[in-house]
């Protein structure tokens, strides 16, 4: 099966542009205060206190630094694929690690174009592609695949992981960070909260693009970081990300 590679404004297009998800997504991002200027994106995950999501970004600094340290400690060449890279701030941080090559991939063209405009490194590129349309293009190419705060936008998590496994080289790893997962008994109420939330933002249609995955779907993943929830920990420690960090290694 052939594909046509086209490069527009430093974004490589491997599949045709789709608008439905992006339009709903950007509407919500704007109302949440998440569409940032180029100047602000360059600084992420550091923000000033005027940012409406300041507290969230403060927590994400910790989860970001953990995985960056993990990758640095590999001390070897790495090919990295960052799925759902958005405006590219996290992709860019990974590309700052010595001896790595990084691709940021998304189907949200507005933020992807912003990423390609802001972040320019010889070892970094941004790609527009639906991985389910041309999975053969990515086969056996990567040591590391990251999904940072984007798992909830994929409908079928088992299908996703199965496809991503084919993208990895031997001993390659899939990392999931800053993404919500739920116990089975929590999913019904979580769906209702999501629907109510998007309705209050005036974008009820977005709820059909936001999926609530069960933690049981990641039973074959290793937990590299788990949030500590004890009262004692909250008293003596600074706040940290409420999300687990999961890793799966493909032999």
Judge whether 204 lies within some domain.
no
In this structure, what token pair is assigned to residue 79?
A: 């090919």
Per-residue model confidence as pLDDT tens digits over 197-237: 999 999 899 999 999 999 999 999 999 999 876 554 454 44
Q: Does residue 210 fall inside a structural domain?
A: no
Look at the chain and count its residues: 251
Residue 2 has pLDDT above 60, yes or no: no
Confidence of residue 144 (pLDDT cuts 50, 70, 90): very high
Residue 225 placed within a domain: yes
162-199 pLDDT per residue, tens: 999 999 999 999 999 999 999 999 999 999 999 999 99
Residue 130 falls inside a structural domain: yes
The neighbouring-strand residues paired with 245 are: 225
DSSP string over 161-216: HHHHHHHEEEEEEEEEES---B-HHHHHHHHHHHHHHHHHTT-GGGGGG----BGG
Kindly state whether residue 43 falls inside one of the protein's structural domains: yes
Q: What is the mean pLDDT of the chain?
A: 92
Distance CA 236, CA 238 (A): 7
Model confidence over 10-33: pLDDT tens digits?
A: 999 999 887 667 778 888 999 999
* Pairwise pLDDT comparison (85 vs 1), residue with the higher score: 85
3-class DSSP assignment, residue 106:
strand
- Determine the pLDDT at residue 224: 97
200 domain residue, yes or no: no
The confidence band for 95, taking pLDDT boundaries of 50, 70 and 90, is: very high
**CB contact at 8 A, 10 and 120:** yes
3-class SS string, 20-48: HHHHHHHHHHHHCCCCCCHHHHHHCCCCC
Domain CATH for 149:
3.40.50.150
What is the total count of domains within the chain? 1
Q: Is the peptide bond between 45 and the residue preceding it cis, with omega within 30 degrees of 0?
A: yes
d(CA 4, CA 121): 24
pLDDT score recorded for residue 5: 78
| Predicted TM-score of the model (pTM) | 0.93
Whether residue 186 lies inside any domain: the answer is no
The whole-number pLDDT of residue 197 equals 95
- State what percent of residues in the chain have pLDDT above 70: 94
């Amino acid at each position: 099966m052939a594909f046509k590679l086209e490069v527009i404004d430093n974004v490589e297009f491997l599949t045709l542009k789709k608008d439905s998800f992006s339009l709903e997504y950007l509407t919500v991002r704007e109302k949440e205060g998440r569409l940032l200027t180029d100047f602000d994106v360059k600084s992420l995950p550091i923000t000033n206190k005027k940012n409406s999501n300041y507290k969230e970004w403060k927590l994400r600094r910790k989860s970001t630094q953990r995985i960056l340290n993990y990758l640095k400690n590999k001390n070897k060449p790495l090919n990295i694929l960052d799925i759902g890279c958005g405006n590219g701030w996290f992709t860019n941080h990974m590309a700052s690690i010595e001896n790595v090559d990084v691709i940021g991939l998304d189907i949200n063209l507005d933020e992807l174009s912003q990423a390609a405009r802001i972040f320019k490194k010889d070892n970094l590129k941004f790609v527009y592609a639906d991985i389910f349309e041309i999975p053969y293009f990515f086969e056996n190419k990567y040591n590391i695949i990251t999904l940072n705060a984007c798992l909830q936008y994929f409908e079928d998590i088992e299908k996703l992981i199965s496809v991503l496994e084919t993208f990895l080289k031997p001993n390659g790893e899939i990392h999931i960070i800053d993404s919500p997962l739920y116990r089975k008994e929590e999913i019904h109420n979580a769906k209702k909260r999501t629907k109510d939330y998007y309705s209050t933002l005036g974008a009820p249609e977005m709820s059909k693009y936001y999926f609530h995955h069960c933690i049981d779907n990641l039973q074959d993943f290793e937990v590299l970081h788990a949030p500590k929830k004890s009262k004692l920990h909250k008293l003596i420690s600074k706040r940290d990300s409420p999300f687990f960090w999961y890793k799966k290694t493909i032999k």
